Structure 1
């Protein structure tokens, strides 16, 4: 059967794509942000090698607008082109889907009482392509198939963290019932703390962000009860994107172990967060070799 082997959380800051595409990753202002993904790129290339990534992200008025605002939408198509976000589409590979697994998940979720919107054709913007770039770098083709799962965190009302966690649990049940032997990862993207407009523009809450990252490790159910008003108050208007990380976390089961963690500020006017988790049958202590790295990341 298909199995979920890991979960990844990652900011999808658009400037990261611009910097990568223009060969500026070694510049001092950007290098620390990119260095934190070196471990993950090696791990993805040499060890993890997922067949399919279920990539949870939010669209930025590329596929959806105020005419149509699905709370949860799953891409079931064969492929997805990079969107033109005003400066032409990014020159990155076309995203190849996995329609068989995507349709299986869509059917399972709907029968599990989640009202999914099914999308067969759409372009995908930086919310989806930047995380792929951060994990894989410069490639001729993305090394995995991708199932886009778009979440509305742009227009009120976004889904609750509790509902997102429950959706992750339902995705895990769907994947486990798919008969093909597939190595599947779930990625939650967006965040961390940031606000793009108004008098609080540029807000970054390092303490809250790191507490959230730490909370994803081990038994994490308390995170599903964080109210919307706390995200908005503590992490800015766009910090609500972190509910998408809870879809990833919910898909990993009761307990997780940490493989890698990275936190850096500032990137553009936002905080950058990244974590790699594995599902565990029981809670596990943080490996000794990671303890110093985690403290330094904070």
Structure 2
């Protein structure tokens, strides 16, 4: 049977992708940000996941104000890197896993989650930057990827509680899939940051690290954080952290921390990263 073996969370800061693409990761400014992912690269090479369910948000590349799905799952054979205004990133095409994706869609819909099924979609930095951080610059990504896009751009975004519950539903779906697969769930986005207005550049290190602490162990307190707290404490874009709760919900009652990295600044934002495994 398919099994979820680990959860990974990380920021998807577009400037990290630029630094990777143009071989600037060793520069003094960028080196500390990338150093925290060296452990994970080695770990991923050893773990060899078959499939990554990658939770991210689209940045007006696949969706716009005409169509705003709350939860959208990519069921296609492949997903091209999106052109975000300066040409597509020079990264491999993302290969999907349609059989598992359709199974998750069916299972979650019958589990009373209204999933939007996407059969054609380009994927932007929200999805490709985490792949670069975890896998470097391979000729092809070493695993299949199921994109799970979440609306955290336009009001109203889903609650943390709903995201956690979706993670639990995804875990049930994966456990009922008959193929023997090593599956990881990644939550991306965040941490604290605001890109506009009088609070542009806001970073709340204390809150960020409490959030990282809350992902470890058996507490589910994070699922009950209200939207207004994310806005007040972590800036207008900090709401992206609800996507990490889909990953956490998929790991079950208790988790163990394998690795953590937190660095400020990276393009005026906080880089957050954690690797968790479920505890039976």
Normalising by structure 1, report the TM-score.
Answer: 0.94
1:8 corresponds to:
8
- Describe the superposition over 1:169-197 as per-residue Cα deviations: whole angstroms up to 9, x where unpaired: 00000000000000000000000000000
* Deviations, residues 241-296 of structure 1 (Å, cap 9, x unaligned): 00000000000000000100000000001000000000002xxxxxxxxxxxxxxx
Residue number in structure 1 paired with 2:142: 143
Query: 1:84-233 residue pairs with structure 2 within 5 A?
Result: 84-233=83-232
Q: Distance in 2 between matches of 1:277 and 1:52?
A: 16
Cα distance, 1:220 vs structure 2: 2.8
Kindly provide the CA deviation profile for residues 188-227 of structure 1, in whole angstroms up to 9, marking residues without a partner as x: 0000000000000000000000000011000130000000
Q: Distance in 2 between matches of 1:167 and 1:138?
A: 31
Partner of 1:267: 266
Q: Distance in 2 between matches of 1:131 and 1:118?
A: 22
1:243 is matched with which residue? 242
TM-score (norm 2): 1.00
Query: How far off is 1:56 after superposition?
Result: 0.1
1:143 positional shift: 0.1
Q: Which residue is equivalent to 1:53? A: 52
Instruction: Measure the CA separation in 1 of the matches of 2:149 and 2:18.
Output: 22
Give the secondary structure class of the aligned counterpart of 2:198.
Answer: coil
Q: Which residue is equivalent to 2:44?
A: 44
Gaps of 5+ in 2: none
- After superposing the two structures, state which structure 1 stretch, 183-192 or 219-228, moved more: 219-228
> CA-to-partner distance for each residue in 1:85-144, whole Å, 9 max, x for gaps?
011000000000000000000000000000000000010000000000000001000000
Measure, in 2, the Cα distance between the counterparts of 1:28 and 1:145.
Answer: 33
- Hey, what does 2:21 align to over in structure 1? 21
Q: Distance in 1 between matches of 2:140 and 2:71?
A: 27
Instruction: Confirm or deny that 1:31 pairs with 2:31.
Output: yes
Cα distance in 2 for residues equivalent to 1:185 and 1:10: 13
Q: Find the aligned partners of 2:113 and 2:181 in 1 and give their Cα distance.
A: 24
- Gapped runs of 5+ residues in structure 1? 282-298
SS in 2 for 1:270: coil
